[in-house]
Structure formats: structure tokens, C-alpha cells
């Protein structure tokens, strides 16, 4: 799916209006954006990465209070960035020679010389804008919501298709490779990939893939990205009949997840949503499981903008147009999808077509949550 430059221009205009309001309040004449999440946010979904392993990109966007918009990068990156990422968006190119750090420093200092500035990358002489960015990023525009729904559909179908292909004897690394490939084929990048087979599913909450081979069960966890937006989902595949104890754990886990989802309503303090989930753990006989792993929180241009916890300020409230990924877990199982909060309720966007589901009745609602996919 590609969004045209007209919709991207419309999105960037809305972002700039929000940003200019903050800049006026803080007295900033310019802001430098180099972090990949912020670059994507302010540009309406463009990409400045080369290395997957860094949250800093290879090009910076500089937004000036007077309306000027500059992309600042080296002669290596300039052609592709201007051709494929920022063409037609009204950015002025200022480039420097890759082999001259002095030229880069002087050019950047010249751009910012006459104004009080902020940055997200520690540019000398600037203030840090990052503490304000989650508040700007979390309120999604109509264009972002459309892109998010597409990404959710691609993620949910991708992980579901891979799970159906898993057989006993496959290694965690082989399964991770299948999922990475399936998403890449949809023009979606995996930013987090966790796979746990059998004992590792019970032992670890963040199980990176290993050569361990599947015998009885395997869990797949993925965070996927496109246009800077991130979706999260978890699915579990079992072989043969699961134990009554494990069944009880999963039923409890999806109940907690449903409690989080049902409570994610506009105007509700996020800490109150957290408390609904913590109460649900206790109601189902697992009062301390929430202590062993974070429970998720608002998402968007980061896997989690922050993780909600008992000390989250009440001023942090759920708003329509926000995205959340709650991820309750009990040793041996987990439940996770990405939702969009609307005025009508929570919309789950990472569903896997044809996946076995469990109906959870809670707070006068019926919430569907993924069951285990059981194979012979």
C-alpha cells in the first residue's frame, strides 16, 4: 500500500501545526529531528534509516518557526532521501561531504546560529525535545489511522500464516526467519522478534530465538513497522492436547487482556486501565503475575511510547485516535494485539483470519481474544 504525496503533505501540515505550537511555547526557533521515529512522524511516514540496529537515522529534518523546512544529510544519502522519501514535500536540501566532520558541524551550526533550538539527537547548543514527543506522536491523524489499519491487517495475517506452517522439529530461529520473510514480502519490517519453544515459553518473558527445536508448543511475538508506525501481536501454537493447568493459565491471561481492552476508553486515566488488568489477574487466581513483565501501553511510533504502571500519572489519559498494545502474560502463555481507541470502543487491528478465538464476557461487552492454535 502506498500513500500519495497529497495525503502525506496533508499529514505533515497537521504535524507541523502541533509542532509550531510547542515551539512557540518553548521559545524554539528551530527543531532538529534525527531519531527514526520522529523523522517518520514529522515527515508523514518517510524513512531515514540505513542500520536497523540504531534509532538514529542518516538524515535530519530541521523545522523552523518561520516556515522553512530543511533536510540535512551527507552526499551519500541525499540522492535517495530526496528521490524516494521527501520528494514533493517542500524540503530544502542542505548537504555536506561525508568525509568532513568539520564541514558537517559548521553547516549545522550555521543553520541554527541565530535561533534558540531543540533537537532529539543532542545537537550541541540545543535543548532536548524528546520528553515532549510522545505527547505529540500518540494522537494519530486520519491518515495515520488508515495506515495503521493496513499495517495491522498485514501483521495479523502474516503471523497467522506462518503459524499454520510450523511443524514439530522446526527451530526457533527457522520460525523467526519464516516470520521475518513473510512480513518483508508485505513491505513490513520486524523490529522485535521473539520465539519460545516448550520450556523456554515457561521460563522467559523475552525469549529471543535460539536453535531450540519445537516439540510441544511455540510462541511467536512480533513488533512490525511501516511508515514509522509499529504493531504488536503474539500467537501460540500447540501440538497435541494441552494440560489443564496450562489451559487455566491461558483462559486467565485472555481474561486479563480483555479487561485491558474493555477499559481502554476515551477519557480514562491509563493508570485506571492498568488497575483493571491487575484486578483481573487477582480475580483469576494469579495476583502477582503482573510483576514479572510489563503490561504494555500506548504505541504508535515506538513499540511502546511508555509502559503503563502503578505510578503512571492520572493526567495520562486514553484518547480517541490513540493506539495501544496490552500484553499480559502468565508463565507459559501470553495474549497481545494492537488496538485503536475510537469513540465507539476498541478496534483490534492485528486479527489473524481464521484463527481460533475465545469469547470473553467483561464489563457488559464480549471481547474476542486469540486461543492457542492446536495441531495434532
Query: Would you list the DSSP string of 319-359?
Result: -TT-EEEE--EETTEE--EEEEEETTEEEE----TT--EEE
| Ranges of H-type helices in the chain | 5-26, 36-43, 78-80, 101-112, 133-137, 142-165, 172-184, 199-203, 244-263, 270-283
Q: Which residue, among 145, 59, 144, 141, has the nearest Cα to 96 in the 3D structure? A: 59
Mind listing the pLDDT tens digit of every residue in the chain (376 residues)? Answer: 566 788 999 999 999 999 999 999 999 999 999 999 999 999 999 999 999 989 999 999 999 999 999 999 999 999 999 999 999 999 999 999 999 999 999 999 999 998 899 999 999 999 999 999 999 999 999 999 999 999 999 999 999 999 999 999 999 999 999 999 999 999 999 999 999 999 999 999 999 999 999 999 999 999 999 999 999 999 999 999 989 999 999 999 999 999 999 999 999 999 999 999 999 999 999 999 999 999 999 999 999 999 999 999 999 999 999 999 999 999 999 999 999 999 988 999 999 999 999 999 998 999 999 999 999 8
Identify whether the C-beta of residue 314 lies closer than 8 Å to the C-beta of residue 131: no
Q: Which residue, among 114, 92, 112, 110, has the nearest Cα to 102 in the 3D structure? A: 110
Helix axis angle for 142-165 and 172-184, nearest 10°, is: 140
- Biggest alpha carbon distance in the chain? 70
Residues with Cβ within 8 Å of 186's Cβ and at least 6 positions away in sequence, in order, are: 154, 158
CA–CA distances in Å: residue 146 to residues 81, 86, 264, 286, 360: 24, 20, 20, 37, 28
Q: Which residue, among 152, 118, 157, has the nearest Cα to 23 in the 3D structure? A: 118
Distance separating alpha carbons of residues 203 and 313, to the nearest angstrom: 32
Distance separating alpha carbons of residues 237 and 334, to the nearest angstrom: 12
Identify whether the C-beta of residue 279 lies closer than 8 Å to the C-beta of residue 259: yes
Distance separating alpha carbons of residues 162 and 367, to the nearest angstrom: 24
Which strand (E) or helix (H) includes residue 237?
strand 229-239
Query: Would you list the DSSP string of 79-138?
Result: HHIIIIISTTTTPEEEEE-TT-HHHHHHHHHHHHTTS-EEESS--TT-EE-GGGHHHHHS
Chain-centre distance of CA 176, in angstroms? 19
Amino acid at each position: 500500500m502506498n500513500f500519495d504525496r497529497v495525503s502525506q503533505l496533508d499529514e505533515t501540515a497537521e504535524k507541523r501545526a502541533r509542532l509550531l505550537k510547542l515551539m512557540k511555547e518553548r521559545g524554539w526557533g528551530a527543531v532538529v529531528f534525527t531519531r527514526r521515529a520522529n523523522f517518520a512522524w514529522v515527515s508523514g511516514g518517510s524513512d531515514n534509516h540505513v542500520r536497523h540496529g540504531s534509532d538514529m537515522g542518516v538524515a535530519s529534518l530541521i523545522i523552523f518557526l518561520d516556515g522553512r523546512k530543511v533536510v540535512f544529510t551527507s552526499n551519500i544519502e541525499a540522492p535517495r532521501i530526496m528521490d524516494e522519501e521527501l520528494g514533493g514535500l517542500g524540503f530544502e536540501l542542505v548537504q555536506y561531504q561525508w568525509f568532513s566532520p568539520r564541514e558537517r558541524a559548521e553547516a549545522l551550526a550555521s543553520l541554527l546560529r541565530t535561533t534558540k533550538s531543540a533537537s532529539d539527537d543532542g545537537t550541541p547548543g540545543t535543548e532536548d525535545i524528546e520528553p515532549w514527543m510522545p505527547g505529540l506522536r500518540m494522537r494519530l491523524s486520519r491518515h495515520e489511522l488508515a495506515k495503521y489499519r493496513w499495517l495491522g491487517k498485514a501483521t495479523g495475517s502474516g503471523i497467522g500464516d506462518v503459524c499454520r506452517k510450523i511443524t514439530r522439529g522446526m527451530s526457533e530461529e527457522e520460525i523467526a526467519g519464516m516470520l521475518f520473510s513473510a512480513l518483508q514480502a508485505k513491505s513490513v519490517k520486524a523490529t522485535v522478534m521473539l520465539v519460545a519453544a516448550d520450556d523456554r515459553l515457561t521460563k522467559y518473558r523475552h525469549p529471543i530465538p535460539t536453535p531450540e527445536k519445537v516439540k510441544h508448543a511455540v510462541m511467536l511475538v512480533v513488533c512490525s513497522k511501516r511508515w514509522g508506525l509499529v504493531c504488536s501481536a503474539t500467537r501460540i501454537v500447540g501440538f497435541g492436547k494441552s494440560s489443564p493447568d496450562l489451559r487455566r493459565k491461558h483462559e486467565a491471561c485472555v481474561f486479563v487482556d480483555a479487561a485491558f481492552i474493555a477499559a481502554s476508553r476515551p477519557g480514562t486515566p491509563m493508570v485506571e486501565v492498568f488497575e483493571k488488568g491487575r484486578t483481573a489477574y487477582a480475580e483469576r487466581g494469579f495476583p502477582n503475575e503482573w510483576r514479572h513483565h510489563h503490561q504494555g501501553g500506548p504505541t504508535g511510533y515506538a513499540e511502546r511510547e511508555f509502559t503503563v504502571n502503578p505510578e503512571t500519572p492520572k493526567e495520562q489519559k486514553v484518547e480517541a485516535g490513540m493506539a495501544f498494545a496490552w500484553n499480559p502474560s502468565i508463565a507459559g502463555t501470553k495474549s497481545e494485539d494492537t488496538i485503536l481507541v475510537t469513540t465507539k470502543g476498541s478496534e483490534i487491528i492485528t486479527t489473524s483470519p481464521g484463527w481460533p478465538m475465545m469469547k470473553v464476557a467483561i464489563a457488559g461487552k464480549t471481547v474476542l481474544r486469540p486461543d492457542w492454535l492446536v495441531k495434532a
